[in-house]
Structure 1
Amino acid sequence: MRADVIVVGAGASGLACARRLHREGLTVVVHEARDRVGGRIHTFHPADGGPPLELGAQVVHGARNPVHALVGADRMITVPRRITARIVQDGGNQDMGVLSHGRRPPWLLEAGLHRDPGPEGRSAGAWLRAHGSARLEERAAKEWFRQSWAAEPDELSARGVAGAHRGDTAVGEGEFAVRGGFDRLALLLAQGLRISLGDPVQEIRCLPGRVEAGTVRGTTSACAAVITVPPPVLAQGRLRVIGPPSAVVDAKIATAARMPLGDGYCTVVTLTREAPDDVITFDVDGGGGFVRCSAGRPEVLFVAKAGAADALRATVRSAPALSSLLETVMPWTAGARVVGLTAADWGRDPWTTGAFTAPRTGCEDAVRQWSAPVDDTLFFAGEATVTGSRLPWVQGALASGERAAEELLKVLANR
């Protein structure tokens, strides 16, 4: 197979990049390991046609997010702010307002970090120890950071967290959902593109001005390639890059090893009972992450990261343990039977390896090194390339794909 450009990965960044290149008249082939497009955009559609639930990217952040224009303003729904909010701590279920009683709740502590993260090299954990007070305040804040960033606070760069938020202010305020599911965005981006699904790239041979991608189905040749898979996919050898300059390639793989993704596990549990109210529960104890249900619906959605992801992964393997957790985070589920379970295990997915890439202390230079093109032939996109400068959400992935396309177009224009 022959093309002008090969794009590895049909997530948001790969589709945005391929779409931009396609609009410029280039022939582009997108190779995707999965049997669907979207990457970490993954929507669960209930069998009865009920409202979709997101097992990957959760919401569209900001009224000026580019997703609004891509899917159409008429398909955007404002996420309601009026919702019953609970927390679980020490096994008990309480109103989330307890986090504000004489204390600073986690979201206010994080806002303080955004304003003044402190000196270079300081971790978010160190910042919390310097600015927190009561035991519950610090404990809740640490779990908040784990669920927000899929990483331990002591590994998170305070400056990286603050820089990511500052870099995303242009998208504005508010949270929105895509009517019909977030996967609609991926399907719209994919329209008109040549995408080979279930066809992972196993090896890329790179020479100046020429690449060959070996996949499970054959070989695709092109003038250049854009890699959008997470760094660990290269570091673990699932995608091999071969060719001169070998020292640059070796350095790229070494950089990839310094950029692990945090663990993530999401699941929809369907019950024999419908929820009486719209509820969100924050599990401070670290067993379930953020848990949601909607009035009149039988599903409970768990979105767990960092240690909570592995805890939830273990819990769902035991029916009694899952029932106990459900009753703790959502007391209305007591006595209900589980009749369905659909999971997205991002931490065990070989083509994702986790939720997303957090800005880690001591790795500030890794993002620049990972993002840099190789010999004007191999280019890089994906949320990992914007770590610490933008939030690792869909808008950052889209922007990275557009940026990689622009870099490639400039090179091709000068050949």
Structure 2
Amino acid sequence: MTTYDVIVVGAGASGLNCARLLSREGLSVVVYEARERLGGRIHTHQPADGGPPLELGAQVVHGDRNPVHELLGPGRTSAVPRRVTARIVEGGADRPMGSLSSGRRAPWQLEAMLWRSPGVTGLSVGSRLRACGSTGAEAVAALEWFRQNWAADPEQLSAAGVAEAHRGDDVGEGEFAVEGGFARLPERLAEGLDGRLRLGEPVRELAYEPGRVTVRTDAGTSAARALVLTVPPAVPVPGLPAWKLAAAADLPAGDGCCAVITLDRPASDTVIVFDVDGRTGFTRCTAGRPEVLVVAKAGAAATLRAAGADRTALSALLATALPWTSGAAVLDVAVADWGQDPYAAGAFTAPRAGLEDAARRWAEPVDDTLFFAGEATVAGERLPWVQGALASGERAAEQVLKALR
């Protein structure tokens, strides 16, 4: 049996950031990751011809003050170009994005209203929108907007949690791409952890008592003074106390599925499409490139998943969102099906109405021995993006250091 100061379970952004900070303080750390790669739900697809990378997980760096910029170093991020044609699919018709604010309030305007006045705790986003007088086509578009941005049913999504997450996310303005792909971030976080990363080793058993924890993987057993668990709460972990399992049950991850579809012709324009009808989520293509990126959550994820195995159905699905693809042959499909991934169990975790304290309960340490990180621990406190995961890893590292010292 090998003994460490700290065992970290999960090599996503939160786990790697936590391990990096603890290692800097001189603690012996080992990181167990079930997948054969780093990054968790950061997953970059590199086209076979060496074209620009496409993101099947985390999409962009949000904000000019996001800690990702500093972690990657100067010149490693660039502003996402704004020269893009924005469109929607509504009622089966292809329309300009501006249609969403023609004679009605656009979904992003309604979301901004919610930030300013979320209503009482326990109120759902759906209920709050109705209280704001949102009906008809306006309501349909807004509800789908929340499904795609929060991977959650608006009738269960907490209005107060959404508002608090926006207020707690102080990362500035703008959106940025990572040069070479978002996968550069976990690679950077893992620098200096050589020999302490155990990829392809899922934890099979976990046992603890105050001040000591043991885990078993297929490669053997390890012990430590503390363990940091960063896997999503929807992923079963043996050995947790009943009250932790209850918190996990209140934090299901929303469905999500992403795909890069390579066609036999390039796009003539750079386009992003929001499917109000709920079939394809957000679809993107870039002028001169043959790939189409589909990022689908909630019901759209199930539609994409079903079409993914049938290229004829996939072509038909694309043609509705991007008419230029009609008749194009599908050459290749790369899929990241987060809803069916046993180590993700969904896209990410959103705060649920009436269960706003679930993230706090999930984040609470156990006997100063088990600690918790990951975007689910900050649900309803920060936005469920990479900066939230990084912050949770830093918080867990601080808790571990305080407990051990």
Q: Please list, as runs of the form range in 1=range in 2, the aligned pairs for 1:68-83 lying within 5 A after superposition.
A: 68-83=69-84
Alignment match, 2:187: 187
- Counterparts of 1:267 and 1:205 in 2: how far apart (Å)? 38
| Residue from 201, 204, 208 that aligns with 1:199 | 201
Deviations 1:260-291 (A, max 9, x none): 00000000000000000110000111110000
- Counterparts of 2:77 and 2:310 in 1: how far apart (Å)? 38
Alignment match, 2:100: 99
Alignment match, 1:167: 168
- Counterparts of 1:71 and 1:278 in 2: how far apart (Å)? 27
Alignment match, 2:217: 215
Stretch deviating more after TM superposition (78-87 or 398-407):
78-87
| Residue from 259, 264, 267 that aligns with 1:272 | 264
- Counterparts of 2:213 and 2:135 in 1: how far apart (Å)? 57
The residue identity in structure 2 corresponding to 1:101 is S
1:145 is displaced (CA, Å) by 0.2
Alignment match, 1:407: 399
CA contact (8 A) 1:75 1:178 kept: yes
| Residue from 292, 304, 314 that aligns with 1:312 | 304
Q: Please list, as runs of the form range in 1=range in 2, the aligned pairs for 1:340-379 lying within 5 A after superposition.
A: 340-379=332-371
1:134 is displaced (CA, Å) by 4.7
| Residue from 208, 232, 235 that aligns with 1:233 | 235
Stretch deviating more after TM superposition (127-136 or 299-308):
127-136
CA contact (8 A) 2:66 2:172 kept: yes
- Counterparts of 1:98 and 1:221 in 2: how far apart (Å)? 59
Whichever structure has more helix as a proportion of its residues is 1
SS of 2:272's equivalent in the other structure is strand
SS of 2:204's equivalent in the other structure is strand
What is the RMSD of the two structures over their aligned residues, measured on CA atoms? 0.9
In structure 1, list runs of 5 or more residues that go unmatched: 243-248
- Counterparts of 2:47 and 2:359 in 1: how far apart (Å)? 38
Q: What percent identity do the matched residue pairs reach?
A: 65
Alignment match, 2:66: 65
| Residue from 265, 277, 293 that aligns with 2:285 | 293
- Counterparts of 1:132 and 1:391 in 2: how far apart (Å)? 26
Alignment match, 1:245: none
In structure 2, list runs of 5 or more residues that go unmatched: none
Deviations 1:357-387 (A, max 9, x none): 0010121121111111100100000000000
State the number of aligned residues.
402
CA contact (8 A) 2:121 2:354 kept: no
Regions of 4+ moved over 3 Å: none
Q: Please list, as runs of the form range in 1=range in 2, the aligned pairs for 1:98-137 lying within 5 A after superposition.
A: 98-137=99-138
- Counterparts of 1:217 and 1:363 in 2: how far apart (Å)? 38
- Counterparts of 1:395 and 1:128 in 2: how far apart (Å)? 28
Alignment match, 1:390: 382
- Counterparts of 1:63 and 1:211 in 2: how far apart (Å)? 40
Deviations 1:276-335 (A, max 9, x none): 011000011111000000000000000000111111111222222211111111111111
Structure 1 length-normalised TM: 0.96
Q: Please list, as runs of the form range in 1=range in 2, the aligned pairs for 1:145-164 lying within 5 A after superposition.
A: 145-164=146-165
The residue identity in structure 2 corresponding to 1:412 is L
1:250 is displaced (CA, Å) by 1.1
CA contact (8 A) 1:103 1:134 kept: no
SS of 1:4's equivalent in the other structure is strand
Q: 1:144 to 1:83 in 2, by over 3 A?
A: same
Q: 1:269 to 1:132 in 2, by over 3 A?
A: farther
| Residue from 373, 376, 398 that aligns with 1:381 | 373
Q: Please list, as runs of the form range in 1=range in 2, the aligned pairs for 1:26-45 lying within 5 A after superposition.
A: 26-45=27-46
Deviations 1:193-247 (A, max 9, x none): 110000011111101111101112111111110000011113xxxx2116xxxxx
Q: 1:406 to 1:327 in 2, by over 3 A?
A: same
The residue identity in structure 1 corresponding to 2:156 is E
